[in-house]
Amino acid sequence: MAFTPSPAADAGCGSTVPITAHPLELIPFFRRFPRSIPRDLVYTAIWNTLFAVFFALIAIVVDTRASFLRELRGTFVFAQCIGFLIHAGFMICDRIVGIRIHGAKLWVRALYYSVIPIVAIFPGYMLAFWLLNIRDGMAWLFDPSVIVSIVVLSMMISGVLLLVFIPRERAAKAEAAMAREQARVAAAEKETTDARFKLLEAQVEPHFLYNTLAHVVSLVDHEPKIAKRMIERLITLLRATASAATGAATLGGQVELLRAYLDILELRMGSRLTWSIDVPPDLAALRVPPMLLQPLVENAVKHGLEPNVDGGALTVTARRGGPRLVLEVADTGCGLGSTTEGVASGLGLANLRARLAALYGDAARLTIEESAPRGTRATIALPLAAFEHEAAAVKVAA
């Protein structure tokens, strides 16, 4: 049979491209599998076989008397020997030069991806000659005209692969840079949002402060002990809000702020308000976004308990609900349908919904519903894994 330099020589190597990709990945199906040495070896065998079939078909077209199976036997051996030796050559050279070659100038990379296949082709042919027991193969291989044709054809194939994969590499780099920029912008926006709401958490509503001070003034003469107690709790509330502006937004920190807030309300409303908070210690340490519970409690008091002649009870609970952190604020006040404004339509709750959607998307939800026998229940469900992962990262960093 006549010996023709096989393009399978260049194409057989999984690293004959300017990025860490295999030529077979030009077909979308083969991009589905993660890169690994076994995968690249299988891809190289498939790629070599495709070239062997291609050249066997050319042989029977040129010579109609030739047998396809006989031609395929010869081209298959040549393709595998040459292709896998080039594969090995690139694996060795990539370990030596490493990632530096990918940042080199274009002409350097073109030279790199052309010279290695040319050097590996000749021992590949020699190995195939030995396996096929072709005695006159060496004389043919080192004929000057054959050497020139091998070099030219190898450089042409390497050039085609470079033209195909360099645009892919540039597109991949551009996509990676865009993804990094989007992640940076998203992280900055998240930090800005958290900082803004942390400042909101650190503020005491002016009307609440004025009403509390006015109530203190009215009690100073007749109920000095209650007035003193209210001032003490107001000081505690102010300290808690100041800490919220600079400290970590833990669930426990929000609970302490709520305790001071509800203490003051209890002193103002008297027997019309009873309240309880149940947050397990392991959940209190979780770092959560600021201003989660405060809007729910304020709405429960404003729309549920204060309008009710008899007041009512308010409970705040936190628990694990499967993979979620469940925060619940329930009251026994007037209920959802008692006012034209409606509890669920308040500005504070609208902002809370928007924040949860921005931070967690569909993984978080806020629901407000009637509570039996009367009253309202507001529930926030958040992905618990996000907080536990953050807590673990903080612990490792510490």
pLDDT tens digits, one per residue of 4-22: 333 333 334 333 333 446 7
Euclidean distance between CA atoms 82 and 125, whole angstroms: 6
pTM above 0.85, yes or no: no
Which pLDDT value is given to residue 11?
38
**What percent of the residues of the chain are helix, what percent strand, and what percent coil, each to the nearest 5?**
70, 10, 20
Which pLDDT value is given to residue 13?
37
Which pLDDT value is given to residue 396?
39
Q: What is the CA radius of gyration of the chain?
A: 37
SS3 state at 362: helix
Euclidean distance between CA atoms 329 and 378, whole angstroms: 5
Q: What is the mean pLDDT of residues 296-318?
A: 89
Question: 318: burial class by Cβ within 10 Å (0-12, 13-18, 19+)?
Answer: buried
**Is residue 91 a contact partner of residue 15, using CB atoms and an 8 Å limit?**
yes
Which pLDDT value is given to residue 393?
45
Report the amino acid identity of residue 127. L
| Percent of the chain whose predicted confidence (pLDDT) is above 90 | 12
Q: What is the mean pLDDT of residues 336-346?
A: 52
Give the confidence band of 319 by pLDDT, cuts at 50, 70, 90.
Answer: very high
Which pLDDT value is given to residue 30?
84
> What average pLDDT does the structure give for the chain?
78
Which pLDDT value is given to residue 36?
85
> What one-character DSSP code corresponds to residue 28?
G
Which pLDDT value is given to residue 151?
84
Domains of the chain in start order, with CATH, are 8-183 (no CATH), 202-397 (3.30.565.10)
**Is residue 94 a contact partner of residue 16, using CB atoms and an 8 Å limit?**
no
At 147-193, the pLDDT tens digits run 888 888 778 877 776 776 667 667 777 777 888 888 887 777 666 66
Which pLDDT value is given to residue 313?
93
The pLDDT of residue 315 is above 50: yes
Of 267 and 199, the one with more pLDDT: 267
Which pLDDT value is given to residue 60?
87
User: Tokens at residue 166, please?
Assistant: 């360099």
Closest CA to 125 of 12, 43, 202, 206: 12
At 108-153, the pLDDT tens digits run 777 887 888 888 888 988 998 899 888 888 888 888 888 888 888 7
Which pLDDT value is given to residue 15?
37
User: Tokens at residue 372, please?
Assistant: 């039996």
Which pLDDT value is given to residue 98?
67
Euclidean distance between CA atoms 292 and 286, whole angstroms: 13
Please give the order of strands across the beta sheet that includes 365-370: 273-278, 312-321, 324-331, 376-383, 365-370
